[in-house]
A = this chain, B = another copy of it.
């Protein structure tokens, strides 16, 4: 019985590949074990449980997405950075739909590693909005709005909710421009 040489990371990695193919909810340990050339219970030497595996996938996905977003915004600022990051976000999500889904799983309270990588991703967004000099709650509102805008579009798109033939790329571009426009008058909005 030669060893398969699995590791926790390797298992999570293959699980992510497989989930992107069949859907996060339809990933089974039996199929995953099969693909790794191992019997199903053997996976438990590397994972705690199905939930634990999903947590591992979530951490990997958040790190991965964070890296992509960081690269997309380097050397840019303001509207340029926001636009670049937005498109990178959407492209990554479309290329890895199950990983994207996993990246939206909340860390369990006390899971410091997951919490850290989650915060880092949000911090990237905060950094890119920094050019607008928003303070306190204004900044938080803007970060939430940006996350909502991106997640909403990508989530609807990947779930197939945009039925009409109209160009989805164009719609996304429009949305991002709209957000940037709204951001320009952010602090003024309250006064209406």
Seen from chain A, the residues whose Cβ lies within 8 Å of a Cβ on chain B are 25, 104, 106, 137, 140-142, 144-145, 147-153, 155-156, 159-162, 164, 166-168, 170-171, 174-175, 177-179, 181-183, 185-186, 189-190, 192
Cross-interface CB contact of A186 among B142, B148, B178, cutoff 8 Å: B178
29 pairs, A vs B, C-beta closer than 8 Å: A104-B159, A104-B161, A106-B159, A106-B160, A137-B167, A140-B164, A140-B171, A144-B171, A145-B153, A145-B175, A147-B156, A147-B161, A148-B155, A148-B175, A149-B149, A150-B152, A151-B152, A151-B155, A151-B156, A152-B152, A152-B155, A155-B155, A174-B190, A177-B192, A178-B186, A179-B182, A181-B181, A181-B185, A182-B182
Structural contact, A149 and B147, CB atoms closer than 8 A: no
Quickly give the copy total for this chain: 2
